[in-house]
Amino acid sequence: MKNLIATLAIGGVAVLGVTGGVYGQSGPPFGQAEDTDYAAKLWSVMEEMGLAGVTGENVIRGFPYEGIEPHGFVLDTLYATATIDGHSGALVVKRNYGPEGVSVEEVQADAAGHLAALTVMFKREDGYDDENRNWFWAKYLPDGSLDKNPAGVELAGRVVKGNAEAGCIACHASAGDDMLYTTDHIQ
């Protein structure tokens, strides 16, 4: 039996970015081919585990709760351990529901109709990004494709804003050593 927890999220900033000079000549530190390839593997594992969507025979549903932007007006958060390329790590899947004004009850009645995105953190192997606790970040649309920032860069990898003062990493850095607002169970 899989035990998953839904908890309250706090804080957040929008994930935005631009290409070109803001990131330097090498481009952003996310959305590169190695990031999007890894994100595709992660989505496949999430599908196998019943975490990728909200419908289907094997899907695991969380407990919706009131959310805040940038994630959604209603959220559910699931915790698991996943294995990708032989590495097992903590996996946090946050389902983001909308539109503005949607209620928890409406999401419970029609989760698929209200699912806007899935924001995911996966704890990669040591050395991936030690400075940021080796978290891999991704934002998927309900169909499993990667969402993009306004500049068209896919949101997977070390997701930051152009000046690295906003985005997933900058926001979650203030959440403490585990970079999670929802729980302290991962260190």
pLDDT in tens, 6-29: 332 323 322 223 334 444 545 567
Average pLDDT of the residues in 131-159: 90
- Evaluate whether residue 27 is within a structural domain: yes
- Domain contains 47: yes
**Encoded amino acid at 59, one letter:** V
The top-scoring range by mean pLDDT among 21-25, 46-50, 76-80 is: 46-50
Residue 145 lies in a domain: yes
In a domain, 12, yes or no: no
In angstroms, what CA-CA distances link 165 with 51, 63, 72, 142? 30, 31, 21, 28
Confidence of residue 91 (pLDDT cuts 50, 70, 90): very high
Q: How many domains does the chain have?
A: 1
Full residue range of the structural domain in which residue 124 is found: 20-173
Residue 10 is predicted with a pLDDT of 28
Enter the DSSP assignment of 156. Answer: E
- Note if the pTM is more than 0.85: no
